């Protein structure tokens, strides 16, 4: 009886240690919080939702949402082929926009190639073995991308800031 209790306590202690480690790693790789001028929706350190809607913060509300929400069945996704390879450049005064996936667009204008929020990884996570998995492949293959002159990142969520893709782009271009 005492051995079972010790084993159970050891398992609980290990789980707490792992959860604490994951929390600390998450905090250490997160971007620093923004500090700036005060506005109607920003007190200088924290943003507030319009209309008095309050976000529930912390692990408890997130776990309740995950455990008790009815997510339903996700519709079957068609197996779409990759789109055509875009041109290397478009001329002056020309504009071409290629939708790739989610927030990723290839903007080609005035002989410039700009890529927004590039993500070619299989998961939107700092780790490729865990995290939300891609439902569809990107609209074009990474190998079909023309040389990229600039990358625009809208914000630092993993589905908009994919470090693996940025490393691939930096090494290639």
* Predicted confidence pLDDT, tens digits, the chain (173 residues): 677 777 777 788 888 877 777 776 666 666 667 778 888 888 887 778 777 777 667 777 778 777 877 767 777 777 778 889 999 999 889 999 999 998 999 999 998 999 999 999 998 888 888 888 888 889 999 999 999 999 999 988 888 888 999 999 999 99
What is the predicted pLDDT for the residue at 168?
95
Q: Number of H helices and number of E strands within the chain? A: 3, 4
Distance CA 61, CA 56 (A): 6
Residue 155's alpha-carbon distances to 31, 34, 45, 56, 170, in angstroms, are 10, 12, 17, 21, 19
**Residue 152 lies inside a defined structural domain of this protein:** yes
**Residue 109 lies inside a defined structural domain of this protein:** yes
**Residue 137 lies inside a defined structural domain of this protein:** yes
The 8-class DSSP code of residue 98 comes to: E
Distance CA 35, CA 57 (A): 19
**Residue 37 lies inside a defined structural domain of this protein:** no
What is the predicted pLDDT for the residue at 117?
95
**Residue 89 lies inside a defined structural domain of this protein:** no
Specify the pTM.
0.61
Q: What is the domain count for the chain?
A: 1
**Residue 110 lies inside a defined structural domain of this protein:** yes
Domain region containing 112: 95-172
């Amino acid at each position: 009886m005492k051995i079972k209790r010790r084993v159970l306590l050891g398992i609980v202690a290990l789980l707490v240690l792992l959860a604490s480690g994951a929390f600390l790693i998450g905090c250490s790789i997160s971007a620093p919080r923004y500090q700036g001028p005060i506005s109607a929706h920003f007190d200088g350190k924290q943003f507030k939702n319009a209309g008095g809607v309050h976000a529930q913060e912390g692990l408890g509300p997130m776990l309740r949402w995950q455990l008790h929400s009815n997510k339903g069945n996700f519709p079957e996704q068609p197996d779409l082929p990759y789109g055509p390879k875009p041109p290397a450049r478009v001329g002056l005064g020309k504009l071409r926009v290629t939708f790739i996936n989610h927030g990723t667009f290839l903007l080609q204008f005035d002989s410039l190639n700009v890529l927004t929020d590039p993500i070619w990884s299989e998961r939107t996570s700092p780790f490729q073995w865990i995290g939300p998995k891609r439902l569809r492949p990107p609209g074009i293959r990474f190998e079909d991308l023309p040389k990229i002159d600039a990358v625009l990142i809208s914000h630092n969520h993993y589905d908009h800031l994919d470090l693996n893709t940025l490393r691939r782009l930096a090494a290639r271009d």
